[in-house]
Structure 1
Amino acid sequence: MGNGSTGAAPCNGTALSPPPPPPPAPAGGHNIAALVLGIVLILLIVGGNGLVCLSVCTERALKTTTNYFIVSLAIADLLLALLVLPLYVYSEFQGGVWSLSTVLCDALMTMDVMLCTASIFNLCAISVDRFIAVSIPLNYNRRQIDLRQLILISTTWIFAFAVASPVIFGLNNVPNRDPNLCQLEDDNYIVYSSICSFFIPCPVMLVLYCAMFQGLKRWEEARKAKLRGSIYGANRKLYHPSTFIEREQTGLEPEGCNPYARSDHPGDYVMNNGIQTVSYPHLKYPHPGHSRKRAKINGRERKAMRVLPVVVGAFLFCWTPFFVVHITRALCKSCAIPTQVTSTVTWLGYVNSALNPIIYTVFNAEFRNFFRKVLHLFC
């Protein structure tokens, strides 16, 4: 039938003229909106992730192993804004028509898959790092990056490139390729990349975070039990009869037993009905060195517990629609998905790169202080 059905002939035999075409859409309506949205999003991603990288590089207090993972995530999002989004915004501004070379299209698709995958893998790597910090806190180095963390960060980028590399090596060069469209051409690769980039790391990340919550809960219960046992043991030893026998034999009165002696711990001595009660806050933990480290980690992980639901929720909210639509188009050829839906879920996935700096820094006082100093320089 060619490009359409022929018109029916009326009774007088004259051909029925085709109906007039629909009036064209207002010039530049949707395209201008995409351009404005793209520029704003690029500025937010570059500004937020740039501040994250700058803060860790310049502030000594922020040079921790956990923040190096956050910098790796920020670099992935920063490169996405600089290398992918400008070309994507240009294509959206053109109404989805690709007017550049197919080689540049393949480069764009490769960078898009690689950097989006690297962003997701970095989120997963952060969950692995925090799980290790909770599982073996005394052996976890928070002040200096070690081989384990270097391997984890390097593996994140290597795997991201491995997922994206088939595109740049010619996977998109299929017969009858439409040069006016820039998209992934192989449906099997779409399924493969979606599974590797989202449907595997996402459950892994959720399982690790759940395990971390359980570990923190058990850790807190064990810490409270040890604290009660330490106080009981210290008080029992203090008032054991052998302690007083030793004092009589030596003829010395310890400073702690003299109510008039100077105390380094104000409020330790309390008179109750003429009887002096002695308390030792400094005996809160039996091993001060290890205890302080455990308490410090516990405090930081408590903060992580408050932000993790926000992180996971934002991640799922931004990326789940994209990958569901993405894999549905590849598996269901009869499913008609409007281009507006595809465009919307793609934009939503890119928005996550702007949210990451906010989520990972707004709950950290050290990052907030740095951001305030930078803002004061320009305000």
Structure 2
Amino acid sequence: MDFPNCTEEVFATNNSSCASLETTKLPTSKILLSITLSVLAVVTTFLNCLVITAIAVTRKLHHPANYLICSLAVTDLLVAVLVMPFSIMYIQKESWGMGPVMCTIWLSVDITCCTCSILHLAAIAIDRYRAITDAVEYSRKRTGKMAGAMVSVVWFLSILISLPPLLWRHYTEDGDDEDQCIIVHHNMAFTLYSTLGAFYIPLLLILILYYKIYQAAQTLYMRREASRASRHSCMTNGSMIPSTYPAGDGDVDGGPRSPEPVSPPEKSYSEPSNEEPPRERVRAPAKPIHGKSRRRETRNESRRSQFQQGPRISNARERRAASTLGLIIGAFVICWLPFFVKEVIVNTCSSCSTSVEMADFLTWLGYLNSLINPLIYTIFNEDFKKAFQRLVRCSHYL
């Protein structure tokens, strides 16, 4: 077999083959980038499949609130399977070589699924807000049909927001370049329509709702602390101590349990020996009286410590709720805000532009939210943790 001689410049055919070999060879940085993005796509697929499977096979997770999380996982799974692989190929080749039809399909799936993922976060915020502020009435309406209706509305709005930019690209010169597969909004109205509907309005809604959720939780904790303080004052004044805590406390987060009632004292701690003199046998029953009073003092001290521990437990729960809400909002803002700020600036300022590398980085920063969502929305739920452990161990239904 003859191999091309790259050192001889006489043969033009050999020179052309050497040039083709040099152009097809990818730099190391691009190979590492492709591997990294592929790992992110695989991990995103795995995590969202884990959430979907856990909800499907675990009876404890068959709840309308979890149906929204399952739908969010399905949307993020579509991003990982249908959007990320084509984006990796696009970044690797630096041009679109699959034709205009595939470009239109890919852009449609990309915009619709990413918008739907963002709107799912807003729907989950609405569901949690109503569940904490109108718990009794909303619990009656919170059914599987209602969750399905919310999912349908989310998908309808996503298509409604994504369709006009795609039609605008199809009927303008933006889609004539077969080497590129992007959407450029020369019209201010389309830019505001797509960015406001896909991100800024949901962001404002999420911020307002989670702020009100935090306020409602803080008010609830303050009421429970006041109730504990009033009972503690009654205890110190010699009044009777109730045997249970207010509804919702207990040991949900490791808090104090309700004290056990005092059991009747036993006759003696140890049976007397038969060789004891009669006087010792007479004195033996008097010893448990001392023990009985000590046991009562011990129980009273434990009750005092439990009531004193109550505010600390409430503060811990409040900090945990605040940190959870901070993670949800922070991850959403960090992942998507830079991309949509870039979209507004680039499409409204004729002299403003970004590099291809920066545009790809901001796009994948938004895709990263599809990997973070299944972690944030399930990691703080004990039922999800147990379901994940059983799935990883290949166990059966809970």
Q: State the TM-score, normalized to the length of structure 1.
A: 0.71
SS at 1:191 equivalent: helix
C-alpha distance 150-226 of structure 1, shift in aligned 2 (>3 A): farther
Alpha-carbon distance in structure 1 between the residues aligned to 2:171 and 2:26:
32
Partner of 1:334: 351
**Which structure 2 residues correspond to residues 225-240 of structure 1 after superposition, within 5 A?**
225=226
In 1, Cα distance between equivalents of 2:203 and 2:123: 11
Compared with structure 1, are the counterparts of its residues 317 and 25 closer, same or farther at alpha carbon in structure 2 (3 Å cutoff)? Answer: farther
Quote the Cα distance in structure 2 between the aligned partners of 1:67 and 1:205: 18
- Which residue of structure 2 aligns with residue 296 of structure 1? none
Match of 2:73 in 1: 74
CA shift at 1:303, angstroms? 5.8
Answer whether contact 1:31 1:94 (CA < 8 A) is retained.
no
Question: Where does 1:353-368 land on structure 2 (aligned, <5 Å)?
Answer: 353-368=370-385
Q: Is the 8 A contact 1:34 1:92 kept in 2?
A: no
Q: Which residue of 2 aligns with 1:135?
A: 133
Residue 182 of structure 2 corresponds to which residue in structure 1?
Answer: 183
Once the 2 structures are TM-superposed, how far is the Cα of residue 231 of structure 1 from its aligned partner? 9.2
CA 1:364–1:162: 2 relative to 1, 3 Å = same
Of 346, 368, 374, 2:363 maps to 346
Q: 2:99 aligns with which of 98, 101, 114?
A: 101
CA distance in 1: counterparts of 2:140 and 2:109, whole angstroms? 32
Alpha-carbon contact 1:65-1:144 (below 8 Å) kept = yes
Shift of 1:316: 0.9
Q: Distance between the aligned counterparts of 1:220 and 1:300, measured in 2?
A: 8
Which residue of 2 is the match for residue 111 of structure 1? 109
Query: Paired residues, what number?
Result: 312
Higher RCO (Cα < 8 Å, 6 or more apart): 2
Q: TM-score by structure 2 length?
A: 0.68
- Which residue number corresponds to residue 323 of structure 1? 340
Is the CA contact (8 Å cut-off) linking 2:108 and 2:162 kept in structure 1? yes
| Displacement after TM superposition at 1:49 (Å) | 0.4
Q: CA RMSD in A?
A: 3.6
1:99 is paired with a residue whose SS is coil
Between 1:138-147 and 1:351-360, the stretch displaced more is 138-147
Shift of 1:226: 5.2
What secondary structure does 1:141 align onto?
helix
**CA 1:333 to 1:49, structure 2 compared with 1: closer, same or farther past 3 Å?**
same
Structure 2 residues without counterparts, runs of 5 or longer:
1-21, 241-258, 265-291, 304-315
The percent of aligned pairs where both chains have the same amino acid is 29
Task: Determine which structure has the larger helix proportion and give its number.
Answer: 2
Deviations 1:68-102 (A, max 9, x none): 1111111110011111112111111112x011121
- How far off its partner does 1:170 sit? 5.8
Matches within 5 A, 1:121-200: 121-141=119-139, 145-169=143-167, 171-175=169-173, 177-188=176-187, 189-200=190-201
Unpaired runs of 5+ residues, structure 1, are: 1-23, 240-263, 282-298
1:123, distance to aligned residue in structure 2 (A)? 0.8
The corresponding residue for 1:369 is 386
Aligned ranges 1:155-304 → 2 under 5 Å: 155-169=153-167, 171-175=169-173, 177-188=176-187, 189-225=190-226, 265-267=260-262, 304=321
Deviations 1:113-164 (A, max 9, x none): 1111111111111111111111012233399625543332221111111111
**Which whole-Å CA distance do the structure 1 matches of 2:214 and 2:138 have between them?**
17
